[in-house]
Amino acid sequence: MSVYKSDEEVAIQRESCLLVSATITEVAKILKPGITTLSLDEMAETFIRDNGATPSCKGYHGYPYSLCISVNEQVVHGFPGKYILKEGDIVSIDTVVYKNGFHGDHAYTFVIGESTPEVLDLVRITKESLYEGIKHAITGKRTGDIGHAIESYTNGQHGYGVIRDFVGHGVGREMHEDPQIPNYGKQGKGKKLMENMVLAIEPMITMGTHKIYMLDDGWTVVSADQSPAVHFEHNVCVKKGAPLILSDFSIIEAAEKANSNLNSSYY
Ligand code: MF3
Ligand code: CO
């Protein structure tokens, strides 16, 4: 399957990416201590369907929910459930929607209430590393340039754990397309980036080890040393000279700042 898209296809896919941004924004509006993660999933599924889309995660290889909600030491693919959110929790929301034949897939990490400087640094630096990687989503670069940028920023400069067992990917008519985008790599190595490839770039970073294990549910990925983990993801269209980010953090960030239950002091 071709991973090269026409400008028209990219424009259609952008709608799916923006619907993910809008969905995460709805979550940002209601996040607070005392609610279950399942209640967020129910709201999000309704929101996605009301917007003429389907939640791609639900039923994907048997995944039972619309959102992945990964709390604290959970890295990715956490199950929404009876867990009641509390002050200090680190909450990563990752979701995928399918609309007009294209998937959008991105993620954002929130901190509820009071936290520690160490956790807020991890959140900020992981988000910054995403933009360090995105700088390389231009023609003439390779996947290794993206990975190298993320790895050298997070592990090289800050000594954090860079998850290696899960990677970013192309995204389009399929949720996962070529090429894979590891969050580590060597400059000038890996697959060549071509104009109008759409990439899901997604650093998954821990305060400790890069090693992980999976919970008995067969999905939830946890840091092996139980250290806190953060995940940010954008969908980015490869262009000449400057990348085109298809997802939109600005609406999420506005909701994050407006919600007094969320900690946005890491900016
Ligand atoms: N965005 C995640 C990924 O690319 C979520 C996929 S949906 C799930 O892996 F079903 F795997 F959760
Ligand atoms: Co993804």
pLDDT digits (tens, 9 = 90+) for 29-55: 999 999 999 999 999 999 999 999 999
Tokens 């000038």 map to which residue? Answer: 188
Asked whether 217 and 79 are in contact (CB, 8 A), the reply is: yes
Identify the pLDDT of residue 165: 98
Q: Whose CA is nearest to atom 8 of ligand 1?
A: 57
pLDDT exceeds 80 at position 4: no
- Which residue in 261, 118, 140 sits closest to 194, CA to CA? 140
- The mean pLDDT value for 182-210 works out to 98
pTM over 0.85: yes
Asked whether 72 and 93 are in contact (CB, 8 A), the reply is: no
pLDDT digits 0-9 by tens, 157-195: 999 999 999 999 999 999 999 999 999 999 999 999 999
Ligand 1 centroid distance, CA of 130 (Å): 18
Residue 117 pLDDT grade (very low, low, confident, very high; cuts 50, 70, 90): very high
Ligand 1 centroid distance, CA of 57 (Å): 6
Neighbours of ion ligand 2 (CB under 5 A): 105, 200
Pairing of strands 221-223, 74-76: antiparallel
Identify the pLDDT of residue 86: 98
Torsion 147-152-153-158 (CA) sign? positive
pLDDT digits 0-9 by tens, 64-106: 999 999 999 999 999 999 999 999 999 999 999 999 999 999 9
pLDDT digits 0-9 by tens, 216-244: 999 999 999 999 999 999 999 999 999 99
Three-state secondary structure along the chain?
CCCCCCHHHHHHHHHHHHHHHHHHHHHHHHCCCCCEHHHHHHHHHHHHHHCCCEECCCCHHHCCCCEEEEECCEEECCCCCCCECCCCCEEEEEEEEEECCEEEEEEEEEEECCCCHHHHHHHHHHHHHHHHHHCCCECCCEHHHHHHHHHHHHHHHHCCEECCCCCEEECCCCCCEEEEECCCCCCCCCCECCCCCEEEECCEEECCCCCEEECCCCCCEEECCCCCEEECEEEEECECCCCEECCCHHHHHHHHHHCCCECCCCC
- Angle subtended at Cα 129 by Cα 158 and Cα 218, rounded to the nearest 5 degrees: 90
Ligand 1 centroid distance, CA of 175 (Å): 8
Identify the pLDDT of residue 37: 99
Number of C-beta neighbours around residue 89 at 10 A: 20
Residue 3 pLDDT grade (very low, low, confident, very high; cuts 50, 70, 90): low
pLDDT exceeds 70 at position 2: no
Whether the CB of 60 sits within 6 Å of ligand 1: yes
Tokens 């090269």 map to which residue? Answer: 4
Q: What is the third-level CATH fold of 7-258?
A: Creatine Amidinohydrolase (3.90.230)
User: Which residues, including other chains, have CB under 8 Å from residue 116's CB and lie 6 or more apart?
Assistant: none
Asked whether 19 and 96 are in contact (CB, 8 A), the reply is: no
- Which residue in 2, 177, 31, 14 sits closest to 97, CA to CA? 14
Q: Whose CA is nearest to atom 10 of ligand 1?
A: 57
Largest Cα–Cα separation, the chain: 49
pLDDT exceeds 90 at position 124: yes
Identify the pLDDT of residue 66: 99
